Structure 1
């Protein structure tokens, strides 16, 4: 009897350790126009897994804003949730951000879109992921990038836009003032200082401001044939409420519109309740399209 109990306990421990095995996390990189793009690849243990690309926001980096109550970035937190569902993730620093090559003042939408498109090509080369089961999550400006990557490639099976920039001109007129946006069109290669509402300054060159008027995220998403999840908050202080509906109206196909009383950071400075609800809804929508 004792040996049977021991055998049973051993089997239970084996099953438990297999079910909750820690995912593999490693730093990876690829090149775009001779510059290095750095990312964090998280893969669950086992067979090749579906993969979701995570695109960070304006002035951010791949781990994203730290959640005070958890001590990890929102995208690190998201990657953990994805791995727990058997889904791999790649979160990247766009060029000119984080650990990737370049300097932030040289940031442009077109450059970040190129980095996102190259990320699609990069993950297709990995043995640890399923090249035909790719999704995207883009937050804020990363949502603008995600709309273009999805629409231009039509590779992702499913795309999630969190508090995404639908109208760059409206967003940056509000965030920076119309006068600052207009001044940016005359700065040339001299970076313009941009005092941010959050108590710090960023610097950008003219190329960024020229693309504010010409970049049309809703037109990009209109070309996308995959499934679309859109989340927005009624208390968003950075991206005006209503942009999510613009994406929904532009897109044809399966979609879900998630609206809550949340700020641009999903209320994480209070707790993770709203973020967890949004993540749960995002994953529930994405999983069937990723074969999970």
Structure 2
């Protein structure tokens, strides 16, 4: 998927850095991802969720909170309230660009932050909220800090270690964390909620998910991340969480009214990246692209893949329909189709072509499955492959007519 690097201006006067994962095709909505405590936008969960959402047509912004990763500011003086303000600033950027309510997703303390930010942002601007391993008690994070918290309260500042990294923490940071009543904030929410949590999370226990779920109003949902660790370091766990959020979110970010859904044929519209193109039929949508070796994002089949698929699928359907009509014991067929650009190099009828004409070919290999078929039945099923409608179209006299609709 195409990734844009963006900067977000904050009311505090510094800038945050973010990566916006854009769908290869058309955009059905936008999402904002808040990373875990002292993590960055490059965490496994952030990247997995953002890219899973973009595959579903949802642009997703993952960014670094104040003082972390590539963002400006002082993390040691920021605190939870600053994280919430950062989220509001980032969400406002997305709202200006995409002009529709935003999906909010947060991991660990980032999950608590998106829950708290929704009220500040305005419920009319939030499509839905999903959290992963979020604490129900924000001061819970102080237990993960190695340092003399009481001395910091007394002296105003002091050194600490968080997740193996050294920081200078301020009294303001601690006071802002302790001032948050998250369950009260959750009780005020008026948007769909999804809580994902591992029952074996040894950093933020499963009882936190129970408390959040109990405080929330409907519609609300819970997904158990069985076997996952708190940080979703395991690739499969991260992908599972990402896939569940993406599937759930589509309900709250419906297809836009201005998306093309033709009554016949297809409509292809340029998407994002170098070659990304969205294809719409009357009932389906999918993405076409080019491989990375051609400068594409490899997010969908190529145009020639689709051409090969048209012949292969029509061949398989025609053969099955014929066998079914005859009542023959066909168990299935396997059709392989490849495209050959310079067929004249290895054929014996190239001289019949007009000078300057490039001869191409589609090579089709077919396996007929069914031990109960006799030799004559197999022969007839193979012969009928040449009768498939797409085959006839490709080998017939085909004209392509183009007109401008500007």
Bucket of the pairwise TM-score, normalised by the shorter protein: 0.7 to 0.9
List gaps (5 residues or longer) in structure 1: 1-22, 65-72
Shift of 1:235: 2.2
Deviations 1:56-81 (A, max 9, x none): 111111122xxxxxxxx331222221
Is the partner of 1:40 in helix, strand or coil?
A: strand
Residue 171 of structure 1 deviates from its aligned partner by 4.0
Instruction: Point out 4+ residue stretches in structure 1 off by more than 4 angstroms.
Output: none
* Residues 95 and 101 in structure 2, CA contact (< 8 A), matched pair in contact too: no
Q: 2:23 aligns with which of 44, 52, 72?
A: 44
Query: C-alpha separation between the residues in 1 aligned to 2:200 and 2:151?
Result: 29
Q: Which residue is 2:82 aligned to?
A: 111
Of 47, 59, 66, which aligns to 1:88? 59
Structure 1 Cα separation of the partners of residues 138 and 116 of structure 2: 13
Alignment of 1:153-192 (within 5 A): 153-154=122-123, 155-173=125-143, 175-176=144-145, 180-188=148-156, 190=157, 192=158
| Structure with the larger RCO, 1 or 2 (CA within 8 Å, 6+ apart) | 1
Check if 1:137 corresponds to 2:137.
Answer: no
Given candidates 207, 212, 215, the residue that maps to 2:177 is: 212
Identify if the C-alpha distance between structure 1 residues 182 and 232 changes in structure 2 by more than 3 Å, giving closer, same or farther. Answer: farther
The equivalences for 1:223-234 within 5 A come to: 223-234=188-199
Residue 132 of structure 1 aligns to a residue whose secondary structure is coil
CA distance in structure 1 between the aligned counterparts of 2:206 and 2:193, rounded to whole angstroms = 18
TM-score calculated relative to the size of structure 1 = 0.79
Rounded Cα–Cα distance in structure 2 between residues aligned with 1:242 and 1:208? 25
Q: What does residue 249 of structure 2 align with?
A: 286
Q: Which residue of 2 aligns with 1:252?
A: 217
Q: 1:234 to 1:86 in 2, by over 3 A?
A: same
Structure 2: unaligned runs, 5 residues or longer: 256-406
Describe the SS at the equivalent of 1:261: coil
Pairing partner for 1:147 from 109, 112, 115: 115
Deviation, 1:230, is 0.5
The residue aligned with 1:61 is: 40
Is the radius of gyration larger for structure 1 or structure 2?
2
Query: CA separation in 1, counterparts of 2:40 and 2:140?
Result: 23
Seen in structure 2, the aligned counterparts of structure 1 residues 114 and 193 have a Cα distance that, compared at 3 Å, is same
After superposition, the C-alpha distances for 1:21-51 in whole angstroms (9 at most, x for unaligned) are xx32111112112211111112113434311
SS at match of 2:247: helix
SS of residue matched to 2:61: strand
> Secondary structure, in 3 states, of the residue corresponding to 2:221?
strand
Asked if 1:28 is matched to 2:11, the reply is no
Q: Deviations over 1:207-244 (max 9, x none)?
A: 11112221122221221111101011222232232111
Q: Does 1:274 align with 2:231?
A: no
Q: Tell me the C-alpha RMSD between the 2 structures.
A: 2.0
Whole-angstrom distance in 2 between the partners of 1:63 and 1:242: 28
Q: Distance in 1 between matches of 2:150 and 2:254?
A: 47
What does the per-residue CA deviation read over 1:162-214, in whole Å, with 9 as the maximum and x for residues that have no partner?
A: 111211234423x237x8333332231x3x22234x44433311111112221
Q: Write out per-residue CA displacement over residues 86-124 of structure 1, whole angstroms, 9 at most, x where no aligned residue.
A: 110011111211111113212211111111111121112
